C-alpha cells in the first residue's frame, strides 16, 4: 500500500496556511469590497469547486470572477492528477508574479489538489504565494478575509444571472478505491456524499436560474450513498428526475465495480437521464488491471457494457478512460487494450500516458516505458479511436436526434449537444440558443454531427 500523507491518513482537511507575519491584511483595505480572480485547471470537480468558491466569495461580500487585471486576489484551483497539470499550475503562477508586483497589496492563494498534496511546502517553494487553503473546507479562509475586510463589505452580493444551460452538481467527493496510479484518494480523501434533499435543493436552485441540464459529479459517483437514508445513485437519479423544469440529467465518473443493473434500469426508465455512460476501463488486460488495482477483469467489464447496452435504449453512448505506458506494460498487454477498444467501439476514449504521482502505490515501481514509446502508443490508439468514433458517428446519419442548443458560431450556425453528448450543428437560423430541437443527422465526422431541423422537441 502507498505511504499516506498526514492529510490523507486521517483524511483531515488541510489547515489554512498563510504569511500573516509578512503582510497583514493579505488584501489591503481598499475602501471597497475586494475583487477576486478565479482560475482553475483539471477535472469537472474543479469546475464545480470554482462555482462554489465564487458563491462563497459573493456570500461574504467579495466580488468574484473579475478579470485578472481588475483583481486584488487571484485564487488558483489546482490539479495534481498528472505531472503536466502541475506544470501548468506552476506556469500560471509564474505569470501571476508580475501581476502581483505591479500593485502593492495584491495576493495569490492556491487551493485544490496541489494544496492538499504539498500543503505549506508550497509557501516555501513559491515566495510570492500568500495563502494555501483546502477547497473542501474553505470556511477558515473565508472567515479570515471577511474579518479583515469587514469595514468595506456590505454583506452578500448578488451574482449576475448566469446564461448557462448546463451545470455540474457535486454529489459526493473523495474515493475509497486505491488504484495504484492515482493520487485522488490522497488529495480528496475518503468518500463523503451529500444528502439527497440537499442535492435536490441545489438542482432546483439551478433550474430556477435557467439551467436545463445537470451533471451529478463525484470521483466515484456510482458509489454515492445518502449519509442518513443509504440511498444509492439510482435512487438519487429518481429523485432529481422529478425536479420540474429539468430537461437532462447526467452523472460522472463511474467505477465499473459499482455499475449495477439498477443503475442501468434507472437510466432506461427516467425521462431526464441521458443515454450516456462514462465507464473508465483503463486497460484491456487482466494482469495490467491487477497491477493498477482496478479490481475487475476484462470479462467482467465486457459484461457490464453488454448489460448497459441491453438496458439503455434506443442507443447508449459510451466513453471510457485508457492509460498507456503504465509500469511494465508489455506489447501484448498494450495490444489487448487496443483489441478491447476495437471490440467495444466506444464513442469517446480519453487517452493519457502514464505519469508517476509521488505517494501513490505505483510510484516506487519502475516507470520503465520510455516517453517516446508512451507517445507512440498514445498516438496509435488516438488513430484507432478516430476511426471508431468516425464510424460510430456516421451510423447516426438518417437518425433523429434531440439537440439542446447552446450557442451560435460566427456564421450564425446553432450548435449544441445531443442526449448522447455528441456535438451537433444545425443550419444558420434553424434554432435559438436555449431551445430543445429535434433534427435529422445528414453527415458526421469523428467529432461532430451535422443535422437538419425537424422542429421543437416536446
Q: Which is nearer to ligand SF4, 93 or 296 (CB)?
A: 296
Q: Which is nearer to ligand SF4, 61 or 174 (CB)?
A: 174
Whole-number minimum distance, CB 289 to ligand SF4, in Å?
12
Residue 45 is a binding residue for ligand SF4 (CB under 6 A): no
Tell me whether residue 108 or residue 233 sits nearer to ligand SF4 (CB atom): 233
**To the nearest whole angstrom, how small is the minimum distance from the Cβ of residue 320 to ligand SF4?**
12
53, 63, 99 from 70: Cα distances, Å: 18, 11, 10
The Cβ of residue 166 has, within 10 Å, a number of other Cβ atoms equal to 16
C-alpha cell at 181: 496510479
**Least Å from the CB of residue 184 to ligand SF4:** 4
* CB closer to ligand SF4 out of 165 and 172: 172
Complete DSSP assignment for 221-252: GGG-B-TTT--BHHHHHHHHHTSTT--EEEEE
Nearer to ligand SF4, 184 or 436 (CB): 184
Shortest Cβ 84–ligand SF4 spacing (Å): 17
Residue 293's Cβ-side half-sphere holds a number of Cα atoms within 13 Å equal to 12
Q: Which of 78, 80, 193, 220 binds ligand SF4 (CB under 6 A)?
A: 220
Q: Smallest distance, Å, CB 222 to ligand SF4?
A: 10
Could you write out the DSSP letters of every residue in 377-445? HHHHHHHHHHHHHHHHHHTTTT-EEEEEEEEE-TT--EEEEETT--EEE--TTS--TT-EEEEEEEEE-
- The CB-of-292 to ligand SF4 minimum distance in angstroms stands at 8
219 binds ligand SF4 (CB under 6 A): yes
**β-pair partners for 279:** none
C-alpha cell of residue 219: 470521483
CB of 293 to ligand SF4, least distance (A): 8
d(CA 153, CA 62): 7
Asked if 202 is part of the footprint of ligand SF4 (rule: CB under 6 A), the reply reads: no
Q: Out of 26, 184, 401, 430, point to the residue binding ligand SF4 (CB under 6 A).
A: 184
By the rule CB under 6 A, 351 interacts with ligand SF4: no
Q: Which of 170, 185, 189, 284 binds ligand SF4 (CB under 6 A)?
A: 185
Closest to 219 measured CA to CA, from 245, 182, 181, 244: 182
Q: Which candidate, 93, 131, 94, 126, places its Cα nearest to that of 110?
A: 131
For ligand SF4, which is the closer residue by CB, 71 or 305? 305
The single residue listed with the C-alpha cell 448566469 is 162
Residue with cell 467529432: 447
- Burial class of residue 5 in the structure, from the number of CB atoms within 10 Å of its CB (0-12 exposed, 13-18 middle, 19+ buried): middle
Looking at residues 154 to 183 of the shown chain, list those that interact with ligand SF4 (rule: CB under 6 A).
Answer: 175, 177-179, 182
- 79 is an interface residue for ligand SF4 by CB under 6 A: no
Among the listed residues 118, 116, 138, the one whose alpha carbon sits nearest the alpha carbon of residue 50 = 138
> Does residue 214 interact with ligand SF4 by CB under 6 A?
no
Q: Is 46 in the site for ligand SF4 (CB under 6 A)?
A: no
* Number of residues this chain uses to bind ligand SF4 (CB under 6 A): 10
Task: Give residues in contact with ligand SF4 (CB under 6 A).
Answer: 175, 177-179, 182, 184-185, 219-220, 255
Amino acid at each position: 500500500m502507498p505511504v499516506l500523507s498526514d492529510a490523507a491518513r486521517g483524511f483531515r482537511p488541510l489547515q489554512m496556511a498563510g504569511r500573516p507575519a509578512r503582510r497583514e491584511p493579505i488584501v489591503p483595505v481598499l475602501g471597497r469590497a475586494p475583487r477576486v480572480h478565479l482560475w482553475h485547471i483539471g477535472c469537472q470537480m474543479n469546475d464545480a469547486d470554482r462555482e462554489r468558491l465564487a458563491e462563497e466569495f459573493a456570500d461574504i461580500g467579495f466580488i468574484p470572477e473579475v478579470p485578472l487585471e481588475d483583481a486584488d486576489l487571484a485564487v488558483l484551483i489546482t490539479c495534481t492528477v498528472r505531472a503536466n497539470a502541475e506544470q501548468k499550475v506552476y506556469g500560471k503562477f509564474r505569470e501571476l508574479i508580475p501581476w502581483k508586483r505591479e500593485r502593492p497589496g495584491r495576493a495569490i492563494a492556491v487551493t485544490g489538489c496541489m494544496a492538499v498534496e504539498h500543503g505549506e511546502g508550497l509557501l516555501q517553494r513559491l515566495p510570492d504565494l500568500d495563502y494555501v487553503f483546502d477547497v473542501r473546507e474553505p470556511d477558515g479562509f473565508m472567515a479570515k478575509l471577511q474579518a479583515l475586510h469587514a469595514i468595506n463589505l456590505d454583506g452578500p452580493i448578488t451574482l449576475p444571472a448566469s446564461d448557462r444551460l448546463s451545470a455540474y452538481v457535486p454529489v459526493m467527493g473523495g474515493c475509497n478505491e486505491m488504484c495504484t496510479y492515482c493520487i485522488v484518494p490522497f488529495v480528496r480523501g475518503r468518500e463523503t456524499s451529500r444528502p439527497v434533499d440537499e442535492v435536490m435543493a441545489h438542482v432546483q436552485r439551478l433550474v430556477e436560474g435557467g439551467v436545463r441540464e445537470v451533471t451529478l459529479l463525484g470521483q466515484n459517483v456510482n458509489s454515492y450513498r445518502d449519509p442518513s437514508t443509504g440511498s444509492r445513485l439510482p435512487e438519487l437519479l429518481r429523485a432529481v428526475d422529478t425536479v420540474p423544469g429539468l430537461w437532462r440529467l447526467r452523472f460522472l465518473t463511474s467505477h465499473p465495480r459499482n455499475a449495477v443493473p439498477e443503475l442501468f434500469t434507472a437510466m432506461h426508465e427516467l425521462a431526464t437521464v441521458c443515454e450516456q455512460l462514462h465507464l473508465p476501463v483503463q486497460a484491456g488486460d487482466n494482469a495490467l488491471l491487477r497491477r493498477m488495482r482496478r479490481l475487475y477483469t476484462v470479462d467482467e467489464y465486457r459484461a457490464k457494457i453488454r448489460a448497459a447496452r441491453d438496458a439503455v435504449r434506443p442507443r447508449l453512448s459510451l466513453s471510457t478512460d485508457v492509460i498507456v505506458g503504465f509500469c511494465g506494460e508489455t506489447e501484448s498487454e498494450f495490444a489487448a487494450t487496443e483489441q478491447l477498444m476495437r471490440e467495444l467501439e466506444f464513442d469517446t476514449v480519453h487517452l493519457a500516458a502514464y505519469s508517476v504521482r509521488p505517494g501513490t502505490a505505483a510510484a516506487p515501481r519502475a516507470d520503465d516505458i520510455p516517453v517516446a514509446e508512451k507517445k507512440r502508443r498514445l498516438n496509435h490508439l488516438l488513430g484507432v479511436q478516430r476511426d471508431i468514433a468516425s464510424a460510430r458517428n456516421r451510423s447516426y446519419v438518417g437518425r433523429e436526434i434531440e439537440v439542446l442548443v447552446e450557442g451560435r458560431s460566427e456564421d450564425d450556425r446553432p450548435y449544441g449537444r445531443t442526449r448522447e453528448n455528441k456535438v451537433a450543428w444545425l443550419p444558420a437560423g434553424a434554432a435559438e440558443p436555449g431551445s430543445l430541437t429535434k433534427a435529422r443527422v445528414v453527415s458526421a465526422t469523428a467529432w461532430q454531427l451535422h443535422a437538419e431541423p425537424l422542429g421543437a422537441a416536446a
